[in-house]
Amino acid sequence: MTVALTPHQLLETHFGFREFLEGQEDVVNAIVEGHDALVIMPTGGGKSLCYQLPALALEGITVVISPLIALMKDQVDSLLEKKIPATFINSSLGQSEMNDRIEAMVRGEYRLVYIAPERFKSERFVQALAPLSIALFAVDEAHCISQWGHDFRPDYIRLKWALKDLGQPQVMALTATATPEVREDIIEQLGLGKFGRQPPSVFVSGFARHNLTLGMTSSKGRAEKLARIVEFAHQLKTGIVYCATRKNVEKVAAHLKGEKIPCVAYHAGLTDDQRTKAQTKFMNGDCGVAVATNAFGMGIDRADLRFVIHYDIPGSIEAYYQEAGRAGRDGEPSRCEVLYNYADVRTQEFFIEGANPSREVIANLYHVLRRLGSHGPIEMPIAEIAELVPATKNSMAVGSALYLLERASFIQREYRQGSRTYTTRLVEPIKPLDELPIDFERLDKKRERDFAKLHRMIEYADHHGCRHHFILQYFGDTETGEGCTVCDNCLAKADSAARFPTDEETVAIQKALSCVARVDGRFGRGRI
Ligand code: ADP
């Protein structure tokens, strides 16, 4: 008779880990007990084990949905090294390899199968999967299902239909994004706890990063910010400076080079080749400092970064914490600092307006296109079209509105490589604006939410209490950080509260107070 191993024994024998990381054990137990689950952990928190381990304890195969094709192979290779039968099925495979894997899956040769969401477009694929005994359907990067999330992928919407075809197996959803709307959306769309299954368990853990000193420095202008960055780079050597715009990346990088601090610049305006070179140089350790926009992120796995500075205030706490969290992956003390100037908020507002065009902008653009397009295809760069649209100077908003009108089948656009512009044509028959399938209410709500997220970020910058606590509360993590020893506010409090003034300081304080008394408190601090 074989005795089933406990989760803890599976952890040791198969994965070679002695202990669970924070939160993992509760998740694993809930899954093994048959609950659907929503797991929210930051990147690097150990989410994969939360489905890989139950996959060994449960009868049947565990299907893992992941949009990150490049990472799938690594995950499968590492499982195979541990002698856990696993494979992946995605567009990187040729047809015959794909068929071989599907057949092996049907024969029950794998415990885990990683599948890209777009596979579920194929009816044949879903039919091949349907008769299998699926123990667990694990949806990684589950925020991609939500249009409120930052990375919506239409292919994820299909998953709920796939689940129906597969007989509604047990589901777990995993993500590092945790805003309440996104959470509700995931639970709703994947039907967690529905169809007669146990109520879903929601787990939030692992957001605390005790080795990061969080701070904020008010900066009057560019010179102050640059001086602070130079100070950090000299003292701490390795880190990333995040900027909101390409222009700022170029300026900061130029300044650092002028100060003889080697750095790489990284943003979406560079060629693929330039970006790869910059990334490789930084990852290899040939260069200690990267100055980048948020395009620099995915796949940055350099553990020894001692600082992350935000030259401009980011647009949300999620964005901030994900970027700041790249510091100190090796667990060593590291510093994260926002260089804050209220005027920079305008840049983020501009981005939000750009990503969420108002009804007025869409309507104005609609009329401009109707006029221009009635004579034939429109061949103008977006900036030129934007000049013709009343009520906005934001060409990014016009770009987003063009995308919406294209999705609503009012126009068709074709990218012309050589001239790097689009050819835009009206789609016949031309429909009136109010007959186009554009959900204006949803767009308005999304803009409001994006602004609300920015305001939370501003609150963080202005916050006088514990910054770790603020962030943990934001993510709904139950661990509290109140009274930490590693944020600027708590450090300052500890500094002033922990000791009595020295004799010399006492005399200075007495003199100052007596002076205030003698002038009847009529003068300010400077004068006194
Ligand atoms: P996520 O998917 O949340 O970003 P991963 O699943 O990739 O995180 O895990 C991050 C790292 O933590 C991996 O290197 C993994 O091997 C390691 N890890 C996971 N669980 C444990 C554990 N119980 N003990 C030690 N290391 C672990």
Q: pTM for the whole thing?
A: 0.78
Ligand 1 mutation target, pool 14, 17, 49, most atoms within 8 A of CB: 49
- DSSP state for residue 326 in the 8-state scheme: T
- The amino acid sitting at 68 is L
Q: What does the pLDDT read at residue 70? A: 77
- Nearest atom in ligand 1 to the alpha carbon of residue 75 is 7
Q: Quick check: helix, strand or coil at residue 137?
A: strand
Atom 9 in ligand 1: which residue has the minimum CA distance? 46
Q: Quick check: helix, strand or coil at residue 301?
A: coil
Instruction: Find out whether the beta carbon of 45 lies less than 6 Å from any atom of ligand 1.
Output: yes
Instruction: Find out whether the beta carbon of 14 lies less than 6 Å from any atom of ligand 1.
Output: no
Instruction: Find out whether the beta carbon of 44 lies less than 6 Å from any atom of ligand 1.
Output: yes
Q: What does the pLDDT read at residue 13? A: 94
Atom 16 in ligand 1: which residue has the minimum CA distance? 46
If you measure from the C-alpha of residue 437 to the centroid of ligand 1, how many angstroms do you get, rounded to a whole number? 43
Q: What does the pLDDT read at residue 515? A: 82
Cα dist from 55 to 44, 162, 328, 464, whole Å: 20, 20, 31, 45
How long, in residues, is the chain?
528
Contacts of 452 (CB under 8 A, 6+ apart): none
If you measure from the C-alpha of residue 110 to the centroid of ligand 1, how many angstroms do you get, rounded to a whole number? 22
Buried b (16+ CB within 10 A) or exposed e, 311-321: bbbbbbbbbbb
Ligand 1 mutation target, pool 13, 21, 73, most atoms within 8 A of CB: 21
Neighbours of 367 (CB within 10 A): 13
If you measure from the C-alpha of residue 47 to the centroid of ligand 1, how many angstroms do you get, rounded to a whole number? 7
Instruction: Find out whether the beta carbon of 39 lies less than 6 Å from any atom of ligand 1.
Output: no
Instruction: Find out whether the beta carbon of 20 lies less than 6 Å from any atom of ligand 1.
Output: yes
- The amino acid sitting at 243 is C
Ligand 1 mutation target, pool 11, 48, 53, most atoms within 8 A of CB: 48
- The amino acid sitting at 355 is A
If you measure from the C-alpha of residue 191 to the centroid of ligand 1, how many angstroms do you get, rounded to a whole number? 27
If you measure from the C-alpha of residue 51 to the centroid of ligand 1, how many angstroms do you get, rounded to a whole number? 12
Q: Is the separation of the CB atoms in 236 and 220 below 8 Å? A: no
Distance CA 506, CA 490 (A): 24
Of the candidates 473, 467, 524, 472, which has an alpha carbon nearest to the alpha carbon of residue 493? 467
If you measure from the C-alpha of residue 503 to the centroid of ligand 1, how many angstroms do you get, rounded to a whole number? 53
Structure tokens at 486: 């590693």
Distance CA 380, CA 302 (A): 42
Distance CA 416, CA 377 (A): 13
If you measure from the C-alpha of residue 46 to the centroid of ligand 1, how many angstroms do you get, rounded to a whole number? 4
- DSSP state for residue 378 in the 8-state scheme: B
If you measure from the C-alpha of residue 366 to the centroid of ligand 1, how many angstroms do you get, rounded to a whole number? 49
If you measure from the C-alpha of residue 50 to the centroid of ligand 1, how many angstroms do you get, rounded to a whole number? 10
- DSSP state for residue 120 in the 8-state scheme: G
For 144-213, give the DSSP string.
Answer: GG-TTSSS--HHHHTHHHHHHHTT---EEEEES---HHHHHHHHHHTTTT-TTPEEEEEEE-----TTEE
Instruction: Find out whether the beta carbon of 7 lies less than 6 Å from any atom of ligand 1.
Output: no
If you measure from the C-alpha of residue 20 to the centroid of ligand 1, how many angstroms do you get, rounded to a whole number? 9
If you measure from the C-alpha of residue 297 to the centroid of ligand 1, how many angstroms do you get, rounded to a whole number? 19
Q: What does the pLDDT read at residue 1? A: 45
Distance CA 517, CA 522 (A): 9
Instruction: Find out whether the beta carbon of 288 lies less than 6 Å from any atom of ligand 1.
Output: no
Distance CA 246, CA 292 (A): 8
Q: What does the pLDDT read at residue 212? A: 94
Of the candidates 336, 342, 343, 320, which has an alpha carbon nearest to the alpha carbon of residue 488? 336
Q: How many CA atoms lie within 13 A of 169 on its CB side?
A: 26
Atom 17 in ligand 1: which residue has the minimum CA distance? 46
- The amino acid sitting at 50 is C
The structure tokens 């150990």 sit at: 46
Per-10-residue mean pLDDT, the chain, length 528: 79 95 94 95 89 95 90 92 95 90 93 95 90 94 82 87 94 86 90 89 90 94 96 96 96 97 93 90 92 80 92 94 91 96 95 94 96 92 91 88 94 84 91 93 90 96 94 83 80 72 76 81 70
Pairing of strands 134-139, 263-266: unpaired
If you measure from the C-alpha of residue 44 to the centroid of ligand 1, how many angstroms do you get, rounded to a whole number? 6
- Nearest atom in ligand 1 to the alpha carbon of residue 42 is 3
Atom 2 in ligand 1: which residue has the minimum CA distance? 47
Dihedral, CA of residue 244, residue 246, residue 248 and residue 254, to nearest 10: 140
